[in-house]
């Protein structure tokens, strides 16, 4: 059973703070064609998951705590902390998941953060919130979130002044080096931005490489333009990069190691870069780039 009922004579109050995000940010959904203004307040009705078998007393506790919550504004999703307990090596956060939309919603996998009183994260974990089920319109559903030991980022934190929050990553963006920014036309920049915006962002912490253009020049050198995609929340610096190129035959047609002047790719961005393979590093005479790929390999 939920940790909130493990204590006896517990004073009824929500111990965590509330965090609120736009439904468009987290679900890409909003109420359309409804006459809301910024002053509209929406009360959320208690909704218990069908699989939960609560006693009358337990139901009363959740109803009381839910009634204590402040109304939401239109098109909001909220996490309102009820209780945080340490259970062995992991943390159990009990919170209301609240929906101010005038329609039912469902979640998929989301990353949640536990924040301290300075709004700094002390735990981070991915949850499959499909398990929450369909959250009815303008409703509030209590749920238990278990943060395993490996998700904890600090050893000391308070269990009385905390916030459960969705991790909202900034939109993955194009990052142009200064030389590219100066040399590219407005149309070229717009095309690159459209390409980056149309790609599925790399996973959290992932760095990958995507081939953009490959062409053999009259001088015999092979010019390969690559999108360096950084899904990490931190900038990365690349000093040396061994690359291999495959053409439509599936054969390696060029390979070489490139020394870079600490090429920086900012957090959650994609940076295009062109690598020039001299003719001495090209392994085939005839190259077919109707389909091709490029990858970083071990030196």
- Residues 148, 10 share a domain: yes
Reported confidence tier of residue 35, pLDDT bands at 50, 70, 90: low
- Residues 126, 14 share a domain: yes
- Residues 185, 156 share a domain: no
C-alpha to C-alpha distance for 92 and 106, rounded to whole angstroms: 22
- Residues 207, 116 share a domain: no
- Fill in the DSSP letter of residue 181: H
> Maximum CA pair distance of the chain?
83
- Residues 135, 187 share a domain: no
- 123, 153 contact by CB (below 8 A): yes
- Residues 198, 153 share a domain: no
- Fill in the DSSP letter of residue 103: S
Is the pLDDT assigned to residue 273 strictly greater than 70? yes
CATH number at residue 245: 2.60.40
Last residue of a domain, which of 166, 194, 220? 166
| Count of domains for the chain | 2
**Residue 30, CA distances (Å) to 76, 110, 129, 151, 299 in order:** 8, 18, 19, 31, 49
Q: Render pLDDT for 133-190 as a digit per residue (tens, 0 to 9).
A: 999 999 999 999 999 999 999 888 877 789 999 998 788 999 999 999 999 999 999 9
Structural domain span for residue 65: 3-166
Backbone angles phi, psi at 50, to 5 degrees: -60, -25
Residue tagged 């899904």 (tokens): 231
- Residues 99, 225 share a domain: no
Q: Among candidates 128, 123, 92, which has minimal Cα distance to 110? A: 128
If residue 64 lies in a helix (H) or strand (E), which one and from where to where? helix 56-67
- Residues 223, 157 share a domain: no
Q: Render pLDDT for 107-133 as a digit per residue (tens, 0 to 9).
A: 999 999 999 998 999 999 999 999 999
- 163, 17 contact by CB (below 8 A): yes
- Residues 90, 135 share a domain: yes
- Residues 16, 135 share a domain: yes
Reported confidence tier of residue 46, pLDDT bands at 50, 70, 90: very high
- Residues 88, 108 share a domain: yes
Reported confidence tier of residue 1, pLDDT bands at 50, 70, 90: very low
Q: Rounded to two decimals, what is the model's pTM?
A: 0.65
Question: Which residues share a beta bridge with 98?
Answer: 78, 140
Is the pLDDT assigned to residue 77 strictly greater than 50? yes
Reported confidence tier of residue 204, pLDDT bands at 50, 70, 90: confident
The pLDDT value given to residue 48:
96
Last residue of a domain, which of 166, 197, 228? 166
Last residue of a domain, which of 131, 166, 201? 166
Q: What angle do CA 37, 38, 40 make, to 5 degrees?
A: 70
Question: Quick count: other Cβ atoms within 10 Å of Cβ 253?
Answer: 25
Is the pLDDT assigned to residue 3 strictly greater than 60? no
- Residues 126, 26 share a domain: yes
C-alpha to C-alpha distance for 221 and 231, rounded to whole angstroms: 31
């Amino acid at each position: 059973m939920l940790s909130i009922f493990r204590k006896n004579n517990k004073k009824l109050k929500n111990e965590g703070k509330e965090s609120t995000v736009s439904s468009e940010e987290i679900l890409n959904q909003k109420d359309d064609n409804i006459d809301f203004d910024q002053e509209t307040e929406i009360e959320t009705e208690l909704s218990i998951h069908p699989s939960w078998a609560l006693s009358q007393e337990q139901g009363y506790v959740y109803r009381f705590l839910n009634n204590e919550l402040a109304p939401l504004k239109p098109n909001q999703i909220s996490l309102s902390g009820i209780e945080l307990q340490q259970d062995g090596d992991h943390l159990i956060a009990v919170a209301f998941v609240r929906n101010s939309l005038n329609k039912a919603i469902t979640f998929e996998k989301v990353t949640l953060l536990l924040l301290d009183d300075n709004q700094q994260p002390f735990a981070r974990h991915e949850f499959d919130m499909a398990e929450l089920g369909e959250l009815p319109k303008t409703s509030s559903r209590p749920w238990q979130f278990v943060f395993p030991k490996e998700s904890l980022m600090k050893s000391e934190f308070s269990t009385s002044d905390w916030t459960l929050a969705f991790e909202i990553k900034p939109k993955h963006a194009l990052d142009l080096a200064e030389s590219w920014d100066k040399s590219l036309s407005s149309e070229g920049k717009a095309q690159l931005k459209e390409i980056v915006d149309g790609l599925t962002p790399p996973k959290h912490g992932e760095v990958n490489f995507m081939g953009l253009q490959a062409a053999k020049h009259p001088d015999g050198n092979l010019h390969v333009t690559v999108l360096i995609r950084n899904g990490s929340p931190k900038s990365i610096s690349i000093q040396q990069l061994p690359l291999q190129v495959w053409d439509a035959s599936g054969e390696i047609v060029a390979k070489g190691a490139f020394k870079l002047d600490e090429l920086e790719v900012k957090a959650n961005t994609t940076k295009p870069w062109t690598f020039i393979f001299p003719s001495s590093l090209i392994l085939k005479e005839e190259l077919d780039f109707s389909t091709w790929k490029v990858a970083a390999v071990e030196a």
